[in-house]
Structure 1
Amino acid sequence: MGRSLVVEADGGSRGNPGVAGYGALVRDAESGEVLARRAAPLGKASNNVAEYSGLIAGLAAAVQIDPAARIEVRMDSKLVIEQMAGRWKIKHEDMKRLALQAQEIVRALKVAGGSVDWGWIPRDKNKDADALSNDGMDGRTIMQNLWETTGSDAFDADDAGAGESADEGVAGRAAAPDPADAPGAAADAEAAVPPPPSKAPTRILLVRHGVTDFTVEGRLDGRGGPNPDLNEQGRAQAKAVAAGIRAKVGDRQVRFVASDLSRAQDTIRHAAEAAGVELHIDPDWDEQNFGSWDGELVRDLVQHQDFRRLRDDETYAAPGGGETHAELVERVREALLRTIESSPDGGVAVVATHRKPIMVVLADILGLDLAHAWLLAVAPGSFTGIEVWTDGHGSISFVNDTNHLRIPPQQ
């Protein structure tokens, strides 16, 4: 039976849409003790987007405390509560995206044996979360893990800066490099707390490549295939990515790494050039090889039973020289280890890669099997922030951050 927790969340916008921020906290349900506090600015956004962002941050913090927790969510937004409970429809695209992220956290929680109850409360009963959301609107980023006695936050308040992601992820135990590691290890609350590290972790910003024509058309585009370039939208995303990297990295030393595929390299080339550093190419960060299916429309392939095997069976390879998921995992783990070993002490590694390699890294940290790893959303041009130690332990500070893509880059 998981720990009983209460998530209180809120968000606000001064102008609706206007200067926005979110706030959330997690309490022990029995004692009322505050275990975690979260707040961050969102730039220009609506009240509803800010409220959903607070919910995501609160859920993520609760799952970080206990991946199998019994959670009661309390918010003064009746809209968010009713939509998440499934009683009201979601029409706005930004809210659909954020609701999906919240639902993915809930699904992973339920798989681990946890639960979530949704409850509306009056505004005067939600003052603590409201105060934190005002901190976010004032430009403050707060990531306090008050229950921890070891380890460190992945991106603390000094690291985050204005514009830190609302799409915080879940911290947990990374699967050790041995592929025989038990996939359900992250569900163990004791295993979720890593031992004291022998050296500082490596901070890694994973960037999914920008949009190509294949992305728009819904075609498979793995390694060994047509290797499409960024289209006009993707090139605009690359400029926004460069600005977003500058905001997150600041003055730290940074190493830029990209897969061997052109769309990944072109997504962070602007950022590397602006930093005056070399862009290193590592083919092990490439997308999975889909064999003869490369370039095919996914909507045509989903009808085939073999294609479904590719999603569910880690030992299955697409016809025509495709790569199994297990083979992909092995090379991505090697790429991650090289990235850790070659990154500057106290600096950041920025890695431009693809959906499935990012999925592999997150699934390793969370201990997810292949079927549940597919629930992780990683949009084109998005950021995912992690910290990883050389012994394989890691934590996730945010997933699928696309805030920078909503702000036009400075010319």
Structure 2
Amino acid sequence: MPSFVVEADGGSRGNPGPAGYGAVVLDPVTGETLAEAAEYIGVATNNVAEYKGLIAGLRAARDIAPDASVRVRMDSKLVVEQMSGRWKIKHPDMKPLAAEAARIFPRSAVTYEWIPREQNKHADRLANEAMDAGKRGKQWEPSRSTAALDTSAARAAAEEPRTVGDATAGAARARAALAGAGAGAGAGAGAGAVSRAATAETPSGAPSGTFPTGSAAGRESDARPQPEADAAGAPPVGWAASADLGTPTTLVLLRHGETALTPEKRFSGSGGGDPELSPVGRRQAEAVAAALAARGTVQEIVSSPLRRCRETAEAVAARLGLDVRIEEGLRETDFGAWEGLTFAEVQQRHPEDLAAWLSSAKAAPTGGGESFTSVSRRVSAARDRLIARSPGRTVLLVTHVTPVKTLVRLALGAPPESMFRMELSAASVSAVAYYADGNASVRLLNDTSHLRAGA
């Protein structure tokens, strides 16, 4: 059985504040880096960032060898004790993260060890790099000195293996590097950007702190006792302390009304034409405008730059007496050569590309289209800008299928494939509330009651 060491860390510059995590998979014999993961996750607490770092590190180890045994080393006493089963997990935000971490490997395959912060410098550095990248509105990329092996080096390692447990470190390094030479982008729900080719999400231009790279991830030491961070679990935050969090920022997510392509279920993104609303779509826009005016909660309107969204947004704005602001990050996916085609036509003309797209968030449509990973980075960055600009307000976002599903998926912490399991009708309304501690609450999904009322 192969054996790895996973070191993970996470931090928040403000707690809650701009947060990120870092994780590294190491050869237990040589200490050689086999994989790295890091991601800026927007506004979150230290503990959320630490748990997400743990999840990313375990996933990176599993990608190398699913049957491995793993020794996790972290400077977070809270995470180590909770995952070891010695401290009870009471906090509602920690429970799903701990459960997700526990599902990655069999419980018997993972052990946890607390280490002083000075022994966790690699993961700490990655967490700071992720937060620094988020401050610049960029995705994290591995440094040249610690990037994963390139393809040729991986092949060489595989040809001259060294025994590590029942497997070989050479084979492990080969799998890590051949999984994707060159750095990757990240995967929201905790996977992050991984140097052996992962997927990345949630970089943001949100303001960061002044902690330099290499500092203790902008947080207080977990080696010191934290308030009530004992067998009773973490101190209450989130909904349990809602009085301290203030009014959430609520993004009301409106998919545009129908175009001529909608009932034919044709790919209609941002890379083809820019269709206008059909007569049905215009009636839908008026119906949703009337419903939103009756609710009276929307304070701002932001739209994708594409015509079908602008026309829908303008119908609502006319009812509410508001202006429409354009946000480029809310545009639909560029579907490349698939624009204007039905699913069946794409399957007939580009079967291999379609199969790849359905199975991997990193795969892009034929002809230079956008992958879901790229769209997720763009949409999550736009989300963070909107939250930072309009704290505590209710903002209507008039956008498209993929951006709405992406925002819902990220709020739920669901994997990319969950997007294929969501129904989202034309002119439907969804809503997500974002709290000051970095948590999100999905309030509504695919509401079309206003369309039935106006039928």
**Following the alignment from structure 1 to structure 2, what is the Cα–Cα distance between the partners of residues 205 and 178?**
27
Residue 316 of structure 1 is matched in structure 2 by: 363
Question: Shift in Å at residue 403 of structure 1?
Answer: 0.2
CA gap 1:408/1:307 in 2 versus in 1, 3 angstroms: same
Amino acid aligned to 2:407: V
Match of 1:259 among 283, 304, 310: 304
Is contact 1:205-1:349 (8 Å) kept? yes
Is 2:322 aligned against 1:277?
yes
Alignment coverage as a number of residue pairs: 235
Is 2:408 aligned against 1:371?
no
Residue 305 of structure 1 is matched in structure 2 by: 352
**Following the alignment from structure 2 to structure 1, what is the Cα–Cα distance between the partners of residues 320 and 422?**
30
CA gap 1:404/1:178 in 2 versus in 1, 3 angstroms: same
Question: Shift in Å at residue 176 of structure 1?
Answer: 7.5
Match of 1:380 among 394, 416, 426: 426
Residue 453 of structure 2 is matched in structure 1 by: 407
Amino acid aligned to 1:269: E
Match runs of 1:39-50 below 5 Å: none
Q: CA RMSD in A?
A: 3.5
Question: Shift in Å at residue 393 of structure 1?
Answer: 1.6
**Following the alignment from structure 1 to structure 2, what is the Cα–Cα distance between the partners of residues 273 and 374?**
34
Residue 337 of structure 2 is matched in structure 1 by: 292
CA gap 1:229/1:279 in 2 versus in 1, 3 angstroms: same
Is 2:263 aligned against 1:234?
no
CA gap 1:258/1:312 in 2 versus in 1, 3 angstroms: same
Is contact 1:253-1:348 (8 Å) kept? yes
CA gap 1:280/1:179 in 2 versus in 1, 3 angstroms: farther
Is contact 1:223-1:261 (8 Å) kept? yes
Deviations 1:76-108 (A, max 9, x none): xxxxxxxxxxxxxxxxxxxxxxxxxxxxxxxxx
Q: Work out the percentage of aligned pairs sharing the same amino acid.
A: 30
CA gap 1:276/1:373 in 2 versus in 1, 3 angstroms: same
**Following the alignment from structure 1 to structure 2, what is the Cα–Cα distance between the partners of residues 277 and 373?**
31
Question: Shift in Å at residue 253 of structure 1?
Answer: 5.8
Residue 118 of structure 2 is matched in structure 1 by: none
Match runs of 1:209-248 below 5 Å: 209-248=256-295
**Following the alignment from structure 1 to structure 2, what is the Cα–Cα distance between the partners of residues 67 and 400?**
25
Q: Displaced runs of 4+ in structure 1, greater than 4 A?
A: 174-183, 195-199
Is contact 1:175-1:392 (8 Å) kept? no
Deviations 1:218-251 (A, max 9, x none): 2111112111111011010000010121133x1x
Residue 200 of structure 1 is matched in structure 2 by: 247
Matched residue of 2:285: which SS?
A: helix
Is contact 2:274-2:306 (8 Å) kept? yes
Unmatched tracts of structure 2, length 5 or more? 1-91, 98-102, 105-187, 201-233
Matched residue of 1:374: which SS?
A: helix
Question: Shift in Å at residue 285 of structure 1?
Answer: 0.4
CA gap 1:342/1:176 in 2 versus in 1, 3 angstroms: farther
Is contact 2:248-2:393 (8 Å) kept? no
Amino acid aligned to 2:453: I
Amino acid aligned to 1:354: H
**Following the alignment from structure 2 to structure 1, what is the Cα–Cα distance between the partners of residues 399 and 191?**
20
Deviations 1:91-134 (A, max 9, x none): xxxxxxxxxxxxxxxxxxxx99xxxxxxxxxxxxxxxxxxxxxx
Question: Shift in Å at residue 372 of structure 1?
Answer: 2.2
Amino acid aligned to 2:382: A
Is contact 2:317-2:324 (8 Å) kept? yes
Is contact 1:311-1:370 (8 Å) kept? no
Match runs of 1:52-71 below 5 Å: none
Is 2:373 aligned against 1:326?
yes
**TM-score if structure 2 supplies the norm length?**
0.47
Matched residue of 1:359: which SS?
A: helix
CA gap 1:307/1:359 in 2 versus in 1, 3 angstroms: same
Amino acid aligned to 2:317: A
**Following the alignment from structure 1 to structure 2, what is the Cα–Cα distance between the partners of residues 311 and 293?**
14
Unmatched tracts of structure 1, length 5 or more? 1-62, 69-110, 113-173, 184-189
**Following the alignment from structure 1 to structure 2, what is the Cα–Cα distance between the partners of residues 177 and 223?**
27
Match runs of 1:1-400 below 5 Å: 175=189, 194=238, 196=241, 198-248=245-295, 250=296, 252=297, 254-303=299-348, 304-343=351-390, 346-389=392-435, 392-400=438-446
Is contact 2:292-2:298 (8 Å) kept? no
**Following the alignment from structure 1 to structure 2, what is the Cα–Cα distance between the partners of residues 383 and 209?**
10
Is contact 2:290-2:319 (8 Å) kept? no
Matched residue of 2:263: which SS?
A: helix
Matched residue of 1:287: which SS?
A: coil
**Following the alignment from structure 1 to structure 2, what is the Cα–Cα distance between the partners of residues 350 and 391?**
22
Is contact 2:199-2:362 (8 Å) kept? no
Is contact 1:212-1:229 (8 Å) kept? yes
Amino acid aligned to 1:394: A
**Following the alignment from structure 2 to structure 1, what is the Cα–Cα distance between the partners of residues 370 and 361?**
10
**TM-score if structure 1 supplies the norm length?**
0.51
Matched residue of 1:295: which SS?
A: coil
